[in-house]
Structure 1
């Protein structure tokens, strides 16, 4: 794999002059008015990842996704022909939520041959067609063909299921993702079906948490207590700078060099890492996955560590050199709260040792996520004081600068196109 020459110091941001280098305002993260604009300008226009095809293993499999920022719920289903469809989760009779269990605000999943409304028993096929109406003769000129479920635009890329809530998407999913993301075509996502999932309600704006995982400048300081003292000291002394940052439309990428965990001195590893042969960098004994797609490790690092693809608006795919990957999602619930979801994916364990190694990696990442979340709630509180309104970002924080600019650009574009004449 060819190496990319590292640009001169401080030049990453300068490669994208439209970003500028001035201090950045975080008003977009503390303004209720800006959040209300984001609902329509961003989350009803962009393609949103809602899951993976493995969640729909057979015909009739379904799951729901609550997209509270867009004030809607979506049901995603494997139809009778084996395709993936999505519908607004609304019965066409009186507007009751169609698919839910005991609590209508909670997500659910399962298998069915048709969807039946809990309120009056209207039934819909897996293709969304209205199949049955209780006491149909009581209605006035009712044509069932006119009252099927309302479809949501749904497309699949590399096994990831995306929906677009707009009446007509501005781009196809492939065009929206662009060449930097679709250069991952061929990565064996489909082989990594062992999943660990966690979620948290975070008292901070969704963009602030995205910022936390798109720069590593904080890692040697914030996460120092997660590693042995000798390793933490060495990390803080050396600092961190990734060898490659890249922007493509609204999406971002940071690629890093790696550490061979088992080659570290024993006093720079935790005893539990030696026992489980796993930790922050994932299982030490990764699977053989064959040739990787051209979109990975663009800097040609040896050893390579990870690539973090930040897909606009709220989805992250983080691929590790050890043969596993994770995803992050940030679902806004208000201007200063959001739901964070994390998924870790592995090739299914073949024995108890491999399973324990996977669990060790999952627990480690959860602890790091808790540290980030705790800090971000403190950030939110301080920003809302407005005692300081602009903040300097260094060259390693180029992705943070880009995220906030894209949010502002989408909101401005929406306002321009929806101004009453």
Structure 2
């Protein structure tokens, strides 16, 4: 897809005339036929993040991932040579799911020397080769070299594992990510090994939840109960404006200023925050992570709050100025349901106080995330009524406009490409 130029500072939507300023339709969030097109045009063609290398700490480590939107399950493993590979989670004998525990639709992980099918005990090594067939002599002209596990395109950037289900990806992973994302190279992802993970099944289209985190216009209103009434009222009246937005190809960025919680008036903080010296923005004691990569804090805010990088189609990396980051994944399961996953990453705590500070930050984040999610099912049902079919977006909601524009562009490109097939 085409890349947009980096805009000058100031009003944002005007710098991207391709997006327009007219009211938008949310038909792409309520139409089952559009969802089916998204599955083919996007989730079977784009690079998708499925995890990090820390999930594969040793040779033989593996995990499975259910990618409903692509209609498949995959195995991601570290081979005996140390390489990371991905395969379709399908036995070549009768099509049984190869790796699963008690519940075949649930994801699993572990360590093994080989993968053995529960049905007829066919075995495959970590490089996907078929190594054993029960009663092999009863098969006709069996060439085990032809019946290894089907590979999935797999590549790694900065420890993030991506897969692509296309027969042949249209771009390499680096080309797909583009300069806005690759300028994050050098961030100390490998030092962020203290993890907190949340997962939820949401009865709303995947893009609606992405939209909830692509603007901060809502923050003073939706999150008002997190602050004293007088402050919340003043904040709602004043509003909030992020200092920087950027679009690069299919990906998006919003960057915000921040606050130094410990410098706020006492009545603005909760007692538990003073006790734990932590809160929404993370532990107050910022770790020394060395020089940050050039892609962070493009507006040079001081204090800097966060940068939210929205990687198309369904992956978000959100960096906090206090020295930690989190990720979001939005995995579609139907036109009006999806699985939401969030993982918070901190440096390993050195003291009990640091551990408690991380846990409070994780719990506080969860509360804010629940507030953002609380509107979604109501939004979905209202949209499905089709009582209103056009909706207004303000300048701050440019990233929302871009996500839906990009989704349509990928579908259009897919339909043109396959029109003669």
TM above 0.5, one fold?
yes
Check conservation: 2:7, 2:246, Cα contact below 8 A: no
Out of 127-136 and 369-378, give the one that drifted further: 369-378
Distance in 2 between residues matched to 1:63 and 1:228, nearest whole Å:
44
Distance in 2 between residues matched to 1:297 and 1:373, nearest whole Å:
27
Q: State the Cα deviation string for residues 278-325 of structure 1 (Å, max 9, x = none).
A: 111111112111110000011111111110000000000000011100
Superposed displacement of residue 232, structure 1: 1.9
Matched with 2:3 is none
Q: Does 1:98 align with 2:98?
A: yes
Check conservation: 1:229, 1:268, Cα contact below 8 A: no
Q: Does 1:7 align with 2:9?
A: yes
Distance in 1 between residues matched to 2:229 and 2:155, nearest whole Å:
47
Distance in 2 between residues matched to 1:273 and 1:76, nearest whole Å:
39
Q: Does 1:143 align with 2:132?
A: no
Matched residues, number: 416
Q: Does 1:270 align with 2:273?
A: no
Q: Does 1:182 align with 2:153?
A: no
Q: Does 1:171 align with 2:171?
A: yes
Distance in 1 between residues matched to 2:129 and 2:378, nearest whole Å:
49
Q: Does 1:341 align with 2:322?
A: no
Q: State the Cα deviation string for residues 215-252 of structure 1 (Å, max 9, x = none).
A: 00001101111233343233213211000000000000
Superposed displacement of residue 350, structure 1: 0.8
Could you list the runs of 4 or more consecutive aligned residues of structure 1 that deviate by over 4 angstroms after TM superposition?
none
Distance in 1 between residues matched to 2:311 and 2:319, nearest whole Å:
13
Distance in 2 between residues matched to 1:7 and 1:67, nearest whole Å:
39
> 2:375 aligns to what SS in structure 1?
helix
> 1:288 aligns to what SS in structure 2?
coil
Q: What's the C-alpha RMSD, in Å, of the aligned pairs?
A: 1.2
Superposed displacement of residue 367, structure 1: 1.1
Check conservation: 1:230, 1:267, Cα contact below 8 A: no
Q: State the Cα deviation string for residues 315-367 of structure 1 (Å, max 9, x = none).
A: 00000011100000000011011000000000011111111111111111111
Matched with 1:214 is 214
Matched with 2:68 is 68
Distance in 1 between residues matched to 2:7 and 2:272, nearest whole Å:
38
Distance in 2 between residues matched to 1:228 and 1:138, nearest whole Å:
75
> 1:42 aligns to what SS in structure 2?
helix
Matched with 1:88 is 88
Q: After TM superposition, list the pairs within 5 Å mapping 1:218-229 onto structure 2.
A: 218-229=218-229
Matched with 1:121 is 121
Matched with 1:412 is 412
Give me the TM-score of the superposition, normalised by structure 1: 0.97
Q: State the Cα deviation string for residues 182-222 of structure 1 (Å, max 9, x = none).
A: 00000001100010001111111000000000100001101
Matched with 1:49 is 49
Q: Does 1:371 align with 2:371?
A: yes
Give me the TM-score of the superposition, normalised by structure 2: 0.97
Matched with 1:192 is 192
Distance in 2 between residues matched to 1:59 and 1:375, nearest whole Å:
44
Distance in 2 between residues matched to 1:386 and 1:153, nearest whole Å:
40
Distance in 2 between residues matched to 1:5 and 1:264, nearest whole Å:
33
Q: Does 1:288 align with 2:288?
A: yes
> 1:390 aligns to what SS in structure 2?
coil
Q: State the Cα deviation string for residues 49-87 of structure 1 (Å, max 9, x = none).
A: 000000000000000000011110010000001110000
Q: Which runs of 5+ in 1 are unaligned?
A: none
